[in-house]
Every structure is written in C-alpha cells, then in structure tokens.
Structure 1
C-alpha cells in the first residue's frame, strides 16, 4: 500500500470534511455562536459531507443505498474522526482564530492551516487502515 494511495484517500476525506467544516464555521460565526456550538455544527456537517461524497461515489457504481451507506460508514468514520479532532483542536489553540470573524485573515488562515495539519496527521492513519483492508480500502472494491 503506497503513501500516494493514502494521501489520495485522505484528500478525498478532507474534501468532504472541509465543505462541512467551512459551512459550519461560517454559519456559527455569522450567527454569533460561541465556540462549542459552532464546533459541534462544523463537525456534524463534516461527517455529513464526508459520508455523502463516498455514498454518492459508491452509488454511481450501482450499489444499493443501504449497502452504499454501510460502505461509507466503514470507509470514512475513523478518517473523519481523526481529521475533525485535529483540525478543530488546531482552530481552538490558535489564539483568537475562532473569535476573529469571517472577514478576518486570521480565521481563514487558521482554518487552512488546521486542514493542512489534519491532512498530515490523518494520512498515516489512512495508510495503516488501508494496509489492514479497512478504511478507504473498502471503497476500492467499487471503483471502476
């Protein structure tokens, strides 16, 4: 199992997570929510969009909705969980990032940096999972 395959799986996961994270952070920040509800919303949306991207890809391979959902859950849960812990942790520890507002370079810079750190930390996790026939290895059976 190659690092390239692990990086590709992590990038796929990061795409769904980033869509949900950005949407959650934007909504929570725009509504003036505190950090905890904003992070909860961002994490929930990250899981939703992370699973959705895999679900749609597997469905395109002709798999039923029920089986596609099982595949998405098996493929993405650990990867999304690690990514969410890391990127939200980074956002929280950067002074002022969560409170800086949507028009702030600090907010967007911190968010981009948090995604980079999450990618770097999650890639070896995905490499290990794929090597064990788990994680995104489950999805590869449905690729054409």
Structure 2
C-alpha cells in the first residue's frame, strides 16, 4: 500500500520518460497543449494551460464523476437509503469511475498497473474531490432533491444543475493545476 508521500513525486515529475517514453506524437501533443515543446512535467516546470485544455480535463473528470454520481444516487434512491449513505455511495462510485477513465488510456498506452494507478491518483484526485464537494453540496442545497424519486424532474434537474455548477467551479482549478505541470498534465499525453 502506498500513501500520500508516494504520490508526491507524480505531482512534480512524470516518471514515464524512464519506463514508457512518450512517442514523438505524444510529445507534440504535450507541447501543443502546454506551449513548451520538448518538455514534460518537470519539477519547477510551469506553463500556461489553455481554458480549452482545462475544460477538456474537467469534462473528462466530470464524465467519470457523473457516471458514479448517477449510478450511486439511482441505486441508493431505488433502495430507499437516506441522504448520508446515498451521498457516500455516489462519492465512492464517482471516484471509482473518475479514476477508471484515466486508467484505461494509460493501460492502453502500455503503462504498468502500479504506475498507472499512481498517475491516475495524482492526475484526478483534486479535480474529483472538488467536483464531489460542489455537486453534492448543490444537491443538498436544492430543497427536496435528495428525497425526490427517480421519476421526479426535481431529482434529475437538480443533479444536472449540480454537475454543471461542479464543472464551472472545477475548470479554473484544473487550469491552475495543469498550468503548474501537475494534476491532469501528468497524463495528458497518454489521452491522445
């Protein structure tokens, strides 16, 4: 098992150069999005992340979170669970699917499981955490949303609104993180 200390290097430096060097195409993609040709995410490396790159990373994260949120809330509502267990299940599934959508391209790119898991944790944890806090906060703030049934427009409307607000709040955070060569920047080349 590894802890937060083990993830820290992945926020600072992408280890892929040693194990799985990016192809010239991946380097070109990375350079295109960071504005720094030939440079990976190195310690002290900062770059200017575009809004479109931040939105893309956030949308990637939102997709996994939305799958987990919807599935978690649907299961919990169907089982008649209360608010706390419903949110707990939704959060667990949101993290699971959020990480899964990062792991799959890394594995397809030939990254070993251990490194892929560490990179997924480093790439998506902050983004998913912010997204989950915001969207669950919105769901709790909308009167009756957590008690609504699956056939209720209130349930689906509140959930869609919550995910939209989470996207809008998380995008600038991802822009800042990616601009520092961290977060989703450590895996960006492998998503293409």
TM-score (norm 1): 0.98
1:82 aligned to which of 130, 134, 155: 130
Match of 1:36 in 2: 84
Match of 1:130 in 2: 178
How far apart are the structure 2 equivalents of 1:142 and 1:8? 14
1:57 CA drift (Å): 1.0
Match of 1:48 in 2: 96
Match of 1:25 in 2: 73
How far apart are the structure 2 equivalents of 1:111 and 1:140? 28
For structure 2, list consecutive stretches of 5 or more residues without a partner in the other structure.
1-48
Which structure has the bigger radius of gyration?
2
For structure 1, list consecutive stretches of 5 or more residues without a partner in the other structure.
none
1:120 aligned to which of 157, 161, 168: 168
How far apart are the structure 2 equivalents of 1:57 and 1:141? 10
- RMSD (CA atoms): 0.7
TM-score (norm 2): 0.74
Cα displacement string for residues 96-120 of structure 1 (whole angstroms, at most 9, x for unaligned residues): 0010110000000000000000000
Match of 2:158 in 1: 110
How far apart are the structure 2 equivalents of 1:37 and 1:140? 34
Residue 98 of structure 1 aligns to a residue in which SS? Answer: helix
Aligned residues: 144
Cα displacement string for residues 86-139 of structure 1 (whole angstroms, at most 9, x for unaligned residues): 000000000000101100000000000000000000000100000111111011
How far apart are the structure 2 equivalents of 1:80 and 1:87? 10
1:143 CA drift (Å): 4.1
How far apart are the structure 1 equivalents of 2:129 and 2:151? 28
Does residue 92 (structure 1) correspond to residue 140 (structure 2)? The answer is yes
1:83 CA drift (Å): 0.1
Residue 101 of structure 1 aligns to a residue in which SS? Answer: coil
